[in-house]
Amino acid sequence: MIDFSIEDETRSQIAKVREISEAGLKYSRYYDEHEEELAPNRLPEADDFRGRGVAGRGRRLTATDEALFIFERSSVDGIPLSQGRRDMGNHTLDAMGTPEQKERFSHLSFTFAMTEPGCGSDTSALRTTAELHGDEWVLNGEKIFASGGIRSDGAVVWATIDRDAGRAAIKPFLVLRDTPGFSVASKEKKLGIRAQDTAALIFSNCRVPRDQLLGGNEEVSRTGSGGYRGAMATFNKTRPRVSAVGIGHALGCLRFCKEELEKEGIEVEHGPGMHSRSAAQQMLIEIEADIEAASLSVLRATTLADSGQPNSLEAAICKSKAGEIARTVPQRCLEILGGSGLSREHLVEKWLRDARITDIYEGTGEIMRLIIARQILGYSSEELR
Ligand SMILES: Cc1cc2nc3c(=O)[nH]c(=O)nc-3n(C[C@H](O)[C@H](O)[C@H](O)COP(=O)(O)OP(=O)(O)OC[C@H]3O[C@@H](n4cnc5c(N)ncnc54)[C@H](O)[C@@H]3O)c2cc1C
């Protein structure tokens, strides 16, 4: 039987996450409106929580714990008091790195640099090259939309070692920030998630030691997807996380909406039938159900990951569902709230903008539905594209 109950220890950790997020809340609007500035790696309020972190003593956080914390954190939406030491590229290091690579590089943060000006959903269009010259790989190309690309210590750069060989020749390379030939071209200006540094990166004759090819496999397999499998392993870990972020914003909108209605003496009652509810109450109940369904789909994906089982189908399902929730819930809440929903005095309009990315990065909603259809119907990516 699937047990959806949350342990007391996890509950108290979630409460702590809320407290920490609320401490960072006063910076949220500032960094939304000052996109050109980077939030400090450590805010003064971090000292108030020194030694009172979320991780339980001696207990490793599971993917499910993390998802529950992310729901809470992004429903409050405070700027992190101190920046984490892990970016998306670290998940590729975990999935593909050799023991030596993990030992050497896991303490550093790595952005994930796959997308290029002509390569988004269709990764086989990737143009960045890596050529072996003696004991070094020489990387040339341009990457865009690398999340954390300015702050991170380096990048996991996806490049082809043979342009004629398709996805099988796409490999991930660990490139440290100070490597000559690696530069940040620009910081992207965005509709939402403006506190997050998203960057365009350039690699120009960037020479990387041969042993920084992640996993060390220099072969180009003529069957299967080769190094690209590591990208999939990364997404299986990170799609539930970004789904949780979007769902958290939707939850923030719902909570705010309910509070505003309560101020007007309107409570959402679940008991009575539809005939005795107002349209707003009915809409909020439907939103609650949608958020619950999306949250459970995330927890299904993380529970499988925690027990070491394949979860690529479930990760795509939760991402597709969360993308939809993140697009529609803030919109519906805004309808109920009217003008106050659009006011910058509150965060609903910000969540509407911030949540929009959920259905775009780490594979768009359309691509998620392709993945789901392929897996359920048994088609290959060549047969259903
Ligand atoms: C804020 C932000 C952060 C990001 N962070 C990262 C990051 O850290 N690292 C990284 O590598 N990338 C990152 N990305 C890039 C992101 O993953 C891509 O934007 C995304 O994969 C879509 O690619 P595209 O923008 O080129 O759109 P396209 O692939 O051109 O798609 C355009 C539209 O066509 C649809 N479409 C495309 N192909 C199909 C198909 N076969 N069937 C049906 N519909 C299709 C798409 O769903 C979409 O609606 C980020 C993007 C943003 C905006």
Between residues 302 and 227, the one the model is more confident about = 302
Nearest to 365 by CA among 334, 311, 328, 330: 328
Strands 170-176 and 154-160: antiparallel
- Residue 363 Cα: closest atom of ligand 1: 21
Ligand 1 proximal residues by C-beta, below 6 Å: 88, 112-115, 120-121, 145-147, 190, 193, 198, 357, 360-364, 366-367, 370, 385
Give the separation between CA 258 and CA 254, rounded to whole angstroms: 6
Q: Alpha-carbon distance 10 to 65, whole Å?
A: 7
DSSP alpha helices (H): ranges in the chain? 8-23, 28-33, 63-76, 88-96, 99-105, 228-263, 279-306, 312-337, 339-342, 348-355, 365-377
pLDDT-based confidence at residue 269 (cuts at 50, 70, 90): confident
Atom of ligand 1 nearest to the CA of 385: 41
Of the pLDDT bands very low, low, confident and very high (cuts 50, 70, 90), residue 276 is confident
Catalytic residue selected from 362, 366, 382, 383: 362
Predicted local confidence at residue 153, as pLDDT: 97
Could you count the other beta carbons within 10 Å of the beta carbon of residue 241? 20
> pLDDT, tens digit, for every residue of 63-122?
999 999 999 999 999 888 988 788 999 999 999 999 999 999 999 999 999 999 999 999
Q: Which residue, by CA, sits nearest to atom 43 of ligand 1?
A: 366
All structural domains of the chain, each given as residue ranges with its CATH number in brackets, are 1-84+227-385 (1.20.140.10), 88-224 (2.40.110.10)
More confident site: 279 or 67: 67
Q: Read off the tokens for 136.
A: 């070094």
Distance 361 CA to ligand 1 centre (A): 6
Question: Best of 170, 234, 239, 361 to mutate for ligand 1, by most ligand atoms within 8 A of CB?
Answer: 361
120 Cα to the center of ligand 1, angstroms: 5
CA 50 / ligand 1 centre spacing (Å): 38
With H, G, I as helix, E, B as strand and everything else as coil, classify residue 312: helix
pLDDT of residue 226: 62
- Nearest atom within ligand 1 for CA of residue 119: 26
Report the atom number in ligand 1 closest to the C-alpha of 115.
11
Say what the pLDDT of residue 195 is.
94
Q: Judge whether 362 counts as a catalytic residue.
A: yes
What is the β-pairing status of strands 154-160 and 110-113? parallel
Confidence band (pLDDT; 50, 70, 90) for 59?
Answer: low
The gap between the terminal CA atoms of the chain, to the nearest Å, is 36
- At 251-263, the pLDDT tens digits run 999 999 999 999 9
Residue 190 alpha carbon to ligand 1 centre in Å: 14
Distance 268 CA to ligand 1 centre (A): 38
Report phi then psi at 205, rounded to 5: 45, 50
User: Exposed e or buried b for every residue in 78-113, given b needs 16+ CB within 10 A?
Assistant: bbbbbbeebbbbbbbbebbbeeebeeebeebbbbbb
| pLDDT classification of 60: cutoffs 50, 70, 90 | confident
